[in-house]
Structure 1
Amino acid sequence: MDYVIEAPLVCVCDLDGTLLRSDATLSGFARDGLNRLINAGVHVTVASGRSLQAMRALLNGVELGLPVIGLNGALISELDTGRHLLIRALESTPARAAVAILAAHGASPLITSWDGTQDRVHHVKTMNAASDWWVAEKREYGDPRLRLSEDLEGVAGQEDVVLITGFVPDQAAERLLEQLRAELAGAAIIHAGQHIYCTGWTEFQIQHPQADKGHAVPHLLELTGLRGSTVLACGDHLNDLGMFAAADESIAPANAHASVLAAATATAASNDEDGVIHWLLRRARLIGAS
């Protein structure tokens, strides 16, 4: 028999590199473990750089009751209905500038936006290998947001842009990062990191200055009436550090970035060993956790 925990917990978990294994799948053990936590009274949700549509596919079978944090904190949304409870969109001027800079560096920009009624992902026809992979992954699960749009700067000036993504070879990343920081200073947050699925490419993500998991967590607690709960944050990469700062406890898998491991209050086994799930089951004092 599972024990119900004594105090309410809110567990906010990253997906890639944390809950997902290195092949970008959620194991059966992880899925069952998340449901055990939820059934025991733990309030579980995810905070990811991924879209609502991707999370819905990856978390199929997980009985989440809370809204999810998507696109690094740009959106807080209901997973089942797709309704957005919070939207952090870039101003049009920095959005257009970011698209122009990425295009000039051959980064094949991709725009994730809200057009007032629907979520969109705009891309051009000819892309570099990494951007082509990014779009192809979404085609595989039938993402309805994809739109071929040759005038990306025009899109950036017309729709609510919540994420601009681009990819360059690792050796070109530093120069691009320097220009983005110089021209978008204060107007956007810029994430840059080696892509975990496309070796040799650096992924850039450009968003509203407060499109951050650390800003999103307090909003999530307020929206759900859970303010004052004990918050456990689980993550592996630099975009999880803000979430760690907003949490009472922070857990990093062994495969996490060195800075994330240093900031965590606890370390679990790697994502390929479902380490975070094992740690959470122990933390919730559920029988059978190993």
Structure 2
Amino acid sequence: MAYEILVLDIDGTLTNSKKEITKQTEDAIMAIQERGHIVVLASGRPTPGIVPLAKKLRLSEYNGYILSYNGAKIINCKSGEVIYQKVLPKDIIPQLHAAALKHSVGIISYENDCVITDMEIDEYMDKEARLNGIAIRKIENFSTYITFDVNKCLMTGHGHVLEKIEPEMKKEFGHLLNIYRSEPFFLEIMPHNIDKAHSLSKLLEHLGLSKEQMISCGDGFNDLSMIQYAGMGVAMSNAQEIVKESADYITLSNDEDGVAHVIEKFILNV
């Protein structure tokens, strides 16, 4: 079966170590879009952190999609339509804030084009803001301020601290939320049952395509579900070991145009 849809994680996959899309990778993506293939950028980043890359790849001209917040939101780049969305229960926000205070770690969420927190800004919050090209805004009280829908919260702190907190958070909130670390210093707090594979299944249903027609490329723990789910699951050579073990194919690294290699091998030259 021919592959019709290409799903790309961003950091460590689409972009190189300088957080750039190389010319070779960009040209390969443009070539398959010209042929009518659908490209999806699927990332843990908030939507504003993905939009500049979507614009660079001209996804709005070729009916591409953004899957942000690890799958909690899917947007059609051409129409701006939200295809699928799931948000955190509002009554859980004060409990998450209390847990962050208890464990002496940071907690952030997102509003429009900003990272928001009421805590002292740590290096990991700053990293998240810089990675996504958005500002950090201090608010008065995290628990009472968030009265609007949010797709995720993120706890920040030293890796050895979050490693200990993760099982405690899962024990307390696992029946209501999806909790996992995307990086040693980031503890993702997502709506229940949300991951990239779950959301991609909703997109495929919307498009009338099957998972056998999809290639998914990634490198991190949060890419594992979509790599296992796709007809062709691809791990970058720089991927976590468990991701490589679960993949159907291991491509070159993100610094060696691994995405372009996949496109040429499995889409352009078949």
TM-score (normalised: structure 2): 0.89
Partners of 2:267 and 2:83 lie apart in 1 by: 29
Task: Work out which of the residue numbers 89, 92, 105 in structure 2 matches 1:91.
Answer: 89
Describe the SS at the equivalent of 1:46.
strand
Which runs of structure 2 are paired with 1:192-271 in the superposition (5 Å)? 192-194=181-183, 202-227=185-210, 230-271=213-254
What is the aligned partner in structure 2 of residue 58 from structure 1?
53
CA deviation profile, 1:38-61 (whole Å, cap 9, x unmatched): 112322111111122111112333
Q: Contact 1:88 / 1:162 at 8 angstroms: preserved in 2? A: yes
The answer to whether 1:39 aligns with 2:34 is yes
Q: Contact 1:67 / 1:220 at 8 angstroms: preserved in 2? A: no
- TM-aligned CA deviation for residue 286 of structure 1: 4.0
Describe the SS at the equivalent of 1:24.
coil
- TM-aligned CA deviation for residue 106 of structure 1: 3.0
Describe the SS at the equivalent of 1:234.
strand
Partners of 2:130 and 2:246 lie apart in 1 by: 35
CA deviation profile, 1:165-189 (whole Å, cap 9, x unmatched): 1211122122211221121121111
Q: Contact 1:19 / 1:277 at 8 angstroms: preserved in 2? A: no
The answer to whether 1:179 aligns with 2:162 is no
Give the direction of change, closer, same or farther, for the CA distance of 1:105–1:79 in structure 2 (3 Å limit): farther
Give the direction of change, closer, same or farther, for the CA distance of 1:208–1:235 in structure 2 (3 Å limit): same
Q: Contact 1:94 / 1:188 at 8 angstroms: preserved in 2? A: no
Partners of 1:266 and 1:277 lie apart in 2 by: 14
Give the root-mean-square deviation of aligned CA atoms.
2.3
Describe the SS at the equivalent of 2:268.
coil
Partners of 2:177 and 2:258 lie apart in 1 by: 34
Give, as a single letter, the amino acid of the residue that structure 2 aligns with 1:106: S
Which runs of structure 2 are paired with 1:275-290 in the superposition (5 Å)? 275-286=258-269
Partners of 2:51 and 2:122 lie apart in 1 by: 27
Task: Work out which of the residue numbers 114, 138, 141 in structure 2 matches 1:151.
Answer: 141
Give the direction of change, closer, same or farther, for the CA distance of 1:244–1:207 in structure 2 (3 Å limit): same
Q: Contact 2:166 / 2:180 at 8 angstroms: preserved in 1? A: no
CA deviation profile, 1:207-238 (whole Å, cap 9, x unmatched): 10122101011111122333476111111111
Partners of 1:216 and 1:150 lie apart in 2 by: 33
- TM-aligned CA deviation for residue 26 of structure 1: 1.3
Give the direction of change, closer, same or farther, for the CA distance of 1:7–1:133 in structure 2 (3 Å limit): closer
Partners of 1:259 and 1:61 lie apart in 2 by: 31
Describe the SS at the equivalent of 1:206.
strand
Which runs of structure 2 are paired with 1:106-185 in the superposition (5 Å)? 106-112=104-110, 121-124=115-118, 126-138=120-132, 141=133, 143=134, 147-156=137-146, 158-185=147-174
Give, as a single letter, the amino acid of the residue that structure 2 aligns with 1:88: K
Partners of 1:128 and 1:104 lie apart in 2 by: 17
Count how many residue pairs are aligned between Structure 1 and Structure 2. Answer: 267
Give the direction of change, closer, same or farther, for the CA distance of 1:169–1:223 in structure 2 (3 Å limit): same
Task: Work out which of the residue numbers 99, 102, 111 in structure 1 matches 2:100.
Answer: 102
TM-score (normalised: structure 1): 0.83
- TM-aligned CA deviation for residue 81 of structure 1: 5.4
Describe the SS at the equivalent of 2:151.
strand
Partners of 1:81 and 1:14 lie apart in 2 by: 22
- TM-aligned CA deviation for residue 8 of structure 1: 4.9
Structure 1 gaps, min length 5: 1-5, 196-201
CA deviation profile, 1:56-97 (whole Å, cap 9, x unmatched): 112333132222211100000123554422211111233322
- TM-aligned CA deviation for residue 280 of structure 1: 1.7
Comparing 102-111 with 180-189, greater Cα deviation is found at 102-111
Q: Contact 1:67 / 1:78 at 8 angstroms: preserved in 2? A: yes
Comparing 50-59 with 211-220, greater Cα deviation is found at 50-59
Partners of 2:238 and 2:179 lie apart in 1 by: 23
Describe the SS at the equivalent of 1:15.
coil
- TM-aligned CA deviation for residue 147 of structure 1: 4.2
Partners of 2:76 and 2:37 lie apart in 1 by: 18
Identity %: 24
